[in-house]
Each structure stands twice: as structure tokens, then as C-alpha cells.
Structure 1
Amino acid sequence: MHLPSLRALSVLEAVVRTGNVVAAADDLRVTPGAVSKQLVQLQHEIEAPLFESGHRLKPTPLATELAQAVGTALRHIEEAWMSATRVSDTRVITIAANATLSMHWILPRLVDAEAKMGGRPVRVSQMHTTDEWRRLPFDIAIVRQADDTGGLERRPIGIERLTVLATPERAERLRQEGVAAIAQETFLVARTRAGELEDWLAVAGIDAPVATRSTPHFYIAVEAAVADQGCVIGPPGVLADLIRQKRLELPFPHLKSDGSLLTAVFDPQVCRRKTADRLLTFLFADFG
């Protein structure tokens, strides 16, 4: 059995309910011409008159019965949709982000973020740069250097601006001795952030090799720097909580190099655009 389009049935319901083509068009947010065209097509498909002869907008009993049935069905659809969206609006939002960004940027803002989302729970799933993020469960993923996102929607967050961070005592000594003293320092370098130390040294005008200690992940390098095992090159914005707590300082805040571009990616069929945009706008309003 062939059924006409829901659009055509909705047009009939609106015309019968309002008794007016123009009013029905306004209700459906289409043109009166589109309404008339749908009615003609529907009458052709049903092979029976929908309006009384001589009374252009007086519906036949058949049309009235059909319009009432369509109206009931549309109300059921609307109620089901409202119920479904209410469920969607209370589902946990999972954000996948690298460990450093999760610990030092997202988690300190999480309570306020949930309040901003009307109490909807937000969960943070920490990942490593070496993880295949596409295989992780997430609603929104924050990735670095997102070259291939497999058709997911993107929202740029910003470029990490990098500089030297060290314990207050070490940072004060560097300030007193000047930038040249950097050449005598030990730097904690994450293997997942290759090239960042070299880029910053170039900005600082340091061409001599410096001593380095390698770590598998950046958050380990940061914790080692907090433990005064050396300096680290990192984004002071992301690590602002450690700076506020006086655990790390910036000896040369004017010397900064560009790091990675952070990008938020999501599937709009899983996480609605307005939900993603609202949450990301709040979380990263002051990023940079």
C-alpha cells in the first residue's frame, strides 16, 4: 500500500484546521503556492475530492476524517519527539581530551559547566596523544593537529602558545641570570610533543644544545617539572591552575612559540550542534 508524504498530509490537516490556505501556509512556514500544490497532488493520489464542489475550502467528510486522523498522529509524533529530546538533554556528555588538558583545564571548570548545561552531567575521559581517539567513546573529542576527522564536524578552539615553565626558585634564578642561562638547564620533554622544545629555543635565540630528559607523556613531564627535576616547555594557559598555585612560574613570559591547534570534533547525530557549541563556548571562552 502506497502512503502519501507526511508533508502532504500535514498540509491537508492545516488547511482543514485553519479553513484558510494563507493561514495554513503561515502555520507550516511555506508559501500558499506550495500548500495549493500539495493539495492538488494529494487529491490526485487519493482519487477522491477533498473539498466540496462549489466550496473551494469546505472539506468533504473524507477529508475531515483524514485531517483529524493526521492531526492526532502529528500530536503523537510531537509528544514522542519531546520525550526523546528530554532523554537526550539529560544523557551524560562525554568529553575525550588529553590528560593534561583534562586535569588542568576541563576538570577545574566541570562543576560550572554542568550548571551551564542545566544540570546535565558532563564526564571527562582522559586519553593519551598516542591513543586512537576515533575508537574511544565520546560525544566531543578535543584533539591536537586534527588532520583527518573522518567527516566529523570541527570547532577550532585555539593554538597553544608555549613558553618555559619551572618551579618558582628555578624560574627566579633564570630571570636573574637571563635567557642565556637556559643553555645550562635540563628540559623535560614528552615524546608525544616532538619539536616543541626546538621551536621555543629558536624563538629564544638559543642555538646551543640543551640537556633533556625524556618522558612518555606530557603530563608526566609537567609533574616532573613541579617536582623541580627540570624545566618544561608548555602552554601556560592550560597550566594556569599550577601557575596560580605558585607551583610553576614563567621566567620569560614574553618568549612564546606556537604549539598545536586544538580542535573539538563531534558527530551531530550523537551530540547536537547547539549542545556542543554551548558547552565548548563555556569551557574554552578564555582559552589562549
Structure 2
Amino acid sequence: MNQETEKVKVLIIGSGPAGYTAAIYASRAGLNPVLYTGGQPGGQLTITTDVENYPGYPDGIMGPEMMEDFRKQAERFGTEVRYGLVTDVDFTVTPKLITVDEQIKIHADTVIISTGASAKWLGLESETRLNGRGVSACAVCDGFFFRGQDVAIVGAGDTACEEAAYLANICSKVYMLVRKDEMRASQIMQKRVMNNPKIEILWNTETEEVLGEDEVKGARVVNNKTGEKRDLEISGFFVAIGHQPNTEVFKKFIHMDEAGYIKTVPGSTKTNVEGVFACGDAQDNVYRQAVTAAGTGCMAALDAERYLAEIENH
């Protein structure tokens, strides 16, 4: 590609369910979108094995395969999918200026941000190795595979409590591993887990290692007050210590909450910058599901299409 600045109507940043759905709608509307995949093509779903809760796949589907389907559908209608990471943006100019891989410059009439979020992990080698083989950062996505089994969940916030309660509905036992002798969660959520007979809270507890060769067989935990170690027999290990939205590159221009999630105008995907729209987990810290991300991707493409029609009519 030459170094002259390329001009596009719709630039989509990110390639999960939100980005690809936006691409499907924008390309069918004749807007010739260009989509950059980002550092993790396919997004969080590529580290998910079985997806059973996305409508239209009655037998379930592997996460990476599903994202491949999304990509093919977007390309079929004319989306240009490119590999690359957006490293800088200037949203003060019209059209917007976007830099990819620190060298490619693109001017875009509209930008759809669908950069998603990344789960925070404990940073254990065994956790990484067994990711998708019993280790998960989404109880709602993967809990079903452990019905009737014993599992553990790490975390002490509202999300961890919610997910522990969710797991207790389908699993036989849930160990909740809390690093301190208190939780960050709201009182009502704390009560919910403390009063659940299926949930055992292990206070002052940290995970040393997730046990198992090809799948999770247990977890070695240590009490950080007494130093006492213990092996829990579990088949599922859930990490619920938060998510980090991948929005750092937009911070100078886009309004965000304190965690870095992009603020959108309620009922739309509009940001505080005209012509810039946000969808998927980059702006949703509540639901974080593939199907809700796809829904907001559709909204973003429709919002972008209306915006383009308006500026062309002026």
C-alpha cells in the first residue's frame, strides 16, 4: 500500500461479533467498509471452545469456527478485512484520521469502535495452559458444561458473586476463593452467596496452581494468613476478577467511565464525537455476551449509515 492517505467511508476497528455484524450491515448497505482485526482476530470468542448459547447453532459451535463464519459473511457482501492494529487516532479532524501499525494512515468518514474487552487473569502458567479446557473467565458462557460438578471461582466483586450464584444453580458445589478477609461486593450480593448452601467461601485464599494435564482436575490454594495449602478437587476454574476494555488508544477524544468503557448516548451507539460509534464489549460492561455484542454491532452500522446520509444531504 502506498504511503498516501487512503479514504474510506466506514472504518471498523475490531473483529468480534460486534465488528463483524457491523461489517455485514454496512457492506449490505453499499458502504464498502474496511475492518481491521486488531491484535486478537475474532476477539474473546477465539479463546472459547464450545459456544452453545448463540441462536442458530442448535448443536453448538466452536468459538473460532463461529468467528470464521462471521468473517466469511462480512466478506461475502464486500467488507475488506485486514490484519492490523490501530495504534493512533485523531478525531479532531474531518474525516477522522486513523493510524494502523504505526505507519498506515486512513481517513474515514465514520468510525465504528468494536475493540472489545479482555478478561483479567491471575497470571499463572497452568491457568493459561488450561484456558478453554476447564479454565474460563465467563461463568454464564461456560458454566453449563460443568453441571452437576464441583467448580471454583476467583473474585470478590459483584460479578464474582453473581457468577458464583449462577454456578450454584447448575453445579453441585462452588468454592469461592477470596484473597482478603472481606469482599468488595455490595451487601446484598454478599448475603446471596453466604446464604447459599452450595457455595463455600474460602477467605484469605490465593491460587498457586490449577491442576491437571489436558483438563482441569483441581486447584492448589494457599491461605495467605496461615500458609496452609490445600488441593480442591474441581473440574471447572472460573476467574472473575474483572475485564479491561481495549479502549486506551481512544482516551484523548472519547468519553469513558472510570474503568475505560466507552459512554454511548442511551438507545444508540453514538459517542461524544460526531461520526464515531461504539459497540460490543468496548461499551458494554453489563451483559458481555456474543449475541448482545452482535446486536449493538447492527445498531452501530445503522447509526453510521444514517449519519453518512445526513452529511451527504447537507
Q: TM-score range by the shorter chain?
A: under 0.3
After TM superposition, the score normalised by the length of structure 1 is: 0.27
Structure (1 or 2) with the greater strand fraction:
2
Structure (1 or 2) with the larger CA radius of gyration: 1
After TM superposition, the score normalised by the length of structure 2 is: 0.26
Structure (1 or 2) with the greater helix fraction:
1
